[in-house]
């Protein structure tokens, strides 16, 4: 019993000092884990989907881009790839899906999505492979359709 009391007293001071030291160190922010890519002003990008991108939780990976859109905008989002079956998703600022498409009207596995924007804000365009199958290079274009007057 005497041994345990001495051991306990011998550990108490170092543990107290360690706790005091650790709580007095400044906190540092973690590196951001999720950081979508701002879409260039041209609205176009040639990029690559890889296994280093965002895991989707449903198999496969996704690459996200942010774009500022205004209420009333009508947008067309086009994703073309010769290396995988594309899927494009448009998400609002809260992460709610506005629309998605995995095949364009031309019968290919490229994606073509039309959407009408009802609220001004920053939106996310997500590019991924259909059914989580595949990676590779792709071309993404987000264009605003304007009325001709």
Alpha-carbon dihedral sign for residues 65, 68, 70, 76: negative
CATH no. of 37-145: 2.60.120.380
Q: Where are the domains of the chain?
A: 37-145
| Parallel, antiparallel or unpaired: strands 37-38 and 121-129 | unpaired
- Write the pLDDT tens digit of every residue in 15-25: 554 554 444 44
Predicted TM-score of the model (pTM): 0.76
pLDDT tens digits along 73-118: 999 999 999 999 999 999 999 999 999 998 877 788 999 999 999 9
């Amino acid at each position: 019993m005497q041994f345990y009391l001495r051991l306990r007293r011998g550990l108490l001071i170092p543990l107290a000092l360690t706790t005091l030291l650790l709580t007095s160190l400044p906190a540092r922010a973690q590196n951001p884990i999720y950081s979508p890519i701002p879409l260039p002003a041209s609205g176009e990008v040639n990029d690559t989907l890889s296994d280093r991108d965002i895991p989707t939780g449903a198999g496969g990976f996704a690459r996200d881009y942010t774009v500022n859109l205004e209420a009333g905008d009508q947008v067309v989002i086009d994703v073309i790839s010769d290396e995988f079956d594309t899927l494009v998703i448009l998400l609002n600022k809260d992460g709610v899906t506005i629309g998605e498409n995995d095949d364009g009207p031309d019968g290919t596995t490229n994606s073509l999505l039309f959407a009408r924007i009802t609220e001004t804000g920053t939106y996310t365009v997500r590019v991924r492979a259909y059914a989580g199958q595949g990676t590779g290079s792709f071309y993404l274009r987000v264009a605003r359709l304007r009325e001709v007057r």
